[in-house]
Amino acid sequence: MNAAAWNALIASLPNPHLLQTWEWGQVKARYGWHALPQTWRDDQGRVTAAALVLQRAVSLLGGLIRLNILYVPKGPLLEWRDADLRHRVLKDLSDLARQRGAIFIKIDPDVILGERFPGQPGAQEFELGLAIRSELQAAGWHFSEEQVQFRNTVLIDLQPTEAELLARMKQKTRYNIHLAERKGVKVRIGNSSDLELLYRLYAETSLRDGFVIRDEAYYRTVWDTFMQAGLAEPLIAELHQPGAPPELLAALVLFHFAGRAWYIYGMSSERHRQVMPNHLLQWEAIRRAKITGCQVYDLWGAPDHFDESDRLWGVYRFKEGLGGSVIRTLGAWDLPARPLMYSFYTRVLPRLLDMMRRRGKSRTRDQLLN
């Protein structure tokens, strides 16, 4: 199967996701993962479920211990309301983990538990999601301590007109969009020649906001792969002032697939923050997503705990101003295929991640200084 065939197949399934595309498998293959595409068919031979399963060997204790892990990012894809199908898919994934000698398999489907956060007007729980969570617990799955992707997110319905989308935003957000326009901020579509500059801005953002990123080669691989496939484009906000060259203020990489757009990577400078470039940048992302035919814009990330103590609270307040609605999902779940090794892995891994984060911050700082 090739990229076009796989992407067309998963696009026909419920809730297809960017991280289940052939291109994501290509990216991860460059960094130690092996893609194992899986499909399930009904009695008529029609594909009813699919999963891009990623396998990786993990070395511990200086290579003395080598372990396989399996991960299904934002999958499997299927109609989760079909109980027989979901039981079949989950059993087959469990069997695959044992066949591949993995210590566990992690799934991370976008199964919705609720909309808006508890206590907010209009908040509701979804019975299907709650039932599936109970089924996973009963079948021996564990809510993962390693949530690779954001469990919750903010979605914007793109089907209304541009005027309606603006009207749904908070008044302060609309004001800041128009302020950025008046102050000379303009947004352009970037290309591959901009990627080095975008990475340096992303590195600057990570040091300022305290999150760890990978090296430049990784992001160049991600961005180039999806741009070449026609599934991503950089959007760059610049300040234009008389007699001066355009000055880079902020940027994002807008991904789109099967009627959905994602804001996964965003970056901004400390310079001229008072002209509100990020507000105009997001508005242009919304407009570009509509142009590409997307019905939903996923702002990629909302708090796990809906109070000011959560590290994403400030980001969430910004996204909320854009007129989005919080969606709470099932999150990532692990099924141990080798329980003793899984227990060892989950105890050791957090220490390794802490060490890697400290090294990552130092490496990013060195790259910016060089």
Tell me the per-residue pLDDT of 47-97, one tens digit each, with 9 for 90 and over.
999 999 999 998 766 666 778 999 999 999 999 999 999 999 999 999 999
Radius of gyration, alpha carbons of the chain: 21
**Domains in the chain with CATH codes:** 3-148+330-355 (3.40.630.30), 159-294 (3.40.630.30)
Task: Considering only residues 307 and 162, tell me which one the structure prediction assigns the higher pLDDT.
Answer: 162
Task: Read off the pLDDT of residues 97-144 as tens digits, 9 standing for 90 and up.
Answer: 999 999 999 999 999 999 998 778 889 999 999 999 999 999 999 999
Concatenated DSSP letters of 99-163:
HTTEEEEEE----EEEES-TTSTT-EE-HHHHHHHHHHHHTT-EE-S---S-SEEEEEE--S-HH
Per-residue pLDDT for 356 more than 60? no
- Pull the structure tokens for residue 95: 């069997």
**Which pTM was predicted?**
0.91
CA 346 to chain centre: 23
Tokens 């792969």 map to which residue? 225
Concatenated DSSP letters of 251-307:
EEEEEEETTEEEEEEEEE-STTGGG-HHHHHHHHHHHHHHHTT-SEEE---B-SS-S
Q: Is the dihedral of CA 294, 151, 50, 3 positive or negative?
A: positive
Write down the mean pLDDT value for the chain.
92
